[in-house]
Structure 1
Amino acid sequence: MTDTILLVGHGSREDSGNQEIREFVELWRARQPGWRIEVCFIEFAPPSLHDGLLTAAKGSSRVLVLPLILNAAGHVKMEIPEAIEHAREHCPGTEFLYGPHLTACDPILAILKRRLRKAMAALDMPDPTTTGVVLLGRGSSDRAANGDMAKMARWLMEEGDHELVDLAFTGITWPRLERVVQRQVLLGMRQVVVLPYYLYTGTLMQRIHRQVEHLRVQYPQMRFTCTTHFGFEKEIFELLEQRVADLRGGVAEAKLPCDGCRFREIAHELGHGHSHEHTHAHHAAPAQEHAHGQVVHVHGHHHGHDHAHGHEHHHEQVSA
């Protein structure tokens, strides 16, 4: 069976972020020279998701679609599954398998812990009891996506010595970085480590570094350090390689968190077929993997509609 692996990146208005994703793909091809690996973007950069799916299907009997996205919200739950369904209609001889997003997991936690240790080593007073930590991500209208970030912040606290590990967002939801830092200063912290929860650079990563510089001016008595995005860490490659192995082996993955999904509510309000009725695919593990129409993915959703969505297109924890 001829497979093509299609990585789906968000895409950024800042082309350096898109270029980093392309560089990641080149590095992954070097790690796996026997694999056919392609890339596309949801927005802001070519090739588009639609074009990427059609290109990946050419000469392939199976396409493994992998979101290069940290948390699941509108793009993962709605747009990618819908695009796969459209591609299946255009390419009836190709099977499309949809893998899960990167999600909150131990490999991502290992990256954050390593970066926090490095940041602490760079401080003049590497005392965790007086050093606050802020995990800073994009923010989403989907509470499950924000909940995944909250989970990572909690895990980071439980596996370290820091008494204060807070969560902040650069947009969509609250609290914002400035308010969290203000609270940490009032609680007696003397240093703050900002951990951006981003895979690649972009306008938001640039904004974060500007915000930290402003905070240094606003709080001259405090010491700040800010790490960078982490999309090139070895754990990201390993996670994607595990996704490929699981899809090829027919191993079912965890379901997408859909309870309270705002996008499901929007879909119903707009009359879209956002169906949660599941039938088992012929190649799925019993009672675990599900088929929606002709697309096999992880608790994805069936959408009988076009792309006239009424929701904002910045719901993933990625650079834009």
Structure 2
Amino acid sequence: MGKVTLQSIADRVGVSRMTVSNAFSRPDQLSAQLRERILAAADELGYVGPDPAARALARGRVGSVGMLLNGALSEAFEDQVSAEFVASVADELARRGLALTVLTPPKDEAFVPARDVAIDGALVYTCEPRSAGVEWLSRRGLPVVAVDQDLGDSVPGVRVDDRGGARLAAQHLLELGHRDIGILGLGLRGEDGTLHHSDSFPSRQRMAGWSETLADAGVEPVVALAPYEPRGVAQGVARTLLETSDVTAVLCFSDVFAHGVVLAAEELGRTVPGDLSVVGYDDSPLAAANRPPLTTVRQDITAKGHLAAGMLADLLVGGAAESQLLPATLVVRDSTAAPRA
């Protein structure tokens, strides 16, 4: 049997091709009885539905939006914060009748997802601002919403008050009496193999918040950097920090980094918070599950995902979107205390 088309079904039922099309795309135009006859004939003939590419061409939309990542999807799902964000975005898009397509870095120039995948718009997430994927989306002229990014005034974004959240964390340690404070920040490995400060929006804002608050108190922190991947590197960097300095507290880029600091302290026979206070960032499930539970800065990941997806969906139907700044709050648990006398 050849390919089953709308005309094949129309011939079987004895109606027009447009009537069959309405049965799939505009069911309110037909009686329930006629639509059931058409669907039954389609099922009998093995019709799989309207061709997605043809429907996209007719509508001028493909019904899917991209999410630009700077690593493999498996890496995103290893991280609890990223996994929660991706899930919240997918849920909100599904509620609005849209699908999510993940755009990962290209293996080679033959296939560049940000350039070659059919999408109606994109969310830019966990990317360095000058990545090739960001540039390709800009060239394509697609509606874009930046998440935890600063892509300029022309691109609406959803960001967290990372600067304010970092200030709260640093002030908390100062109020406890700490003056020898370390920072475990996010590093990006350059072509020469050395680590540099990440240029991502959260990294820059958190570092600024910590540094400003400590400087106002006359405290000069000891700064160490670690990449987010592979896992375990942060623990090694933390151990070196603790072995080569007299810090009594460490401010961390994330809860994952904070967990690494706690493990490094344990390796060196130090207790948390007795010998060392540790502050994380994100308030991921890891923060509460850690032993001791982490003092951290909370951001609402689910709200951020829903808001970003909703903003992009509004742009796709001609709506307007204004950048939003979400609050960050300090959650005090058991990983911080006053320094030993």
Q: TM-score range by the shorter chain?
A: 0.3 to 0.5
Give the structure-1-normalised TM-score: 0.47
Larger Rg: 2
TM-score, with structure 2 as normaliser: 0.44
Structure with the largest fraction of helix: 2
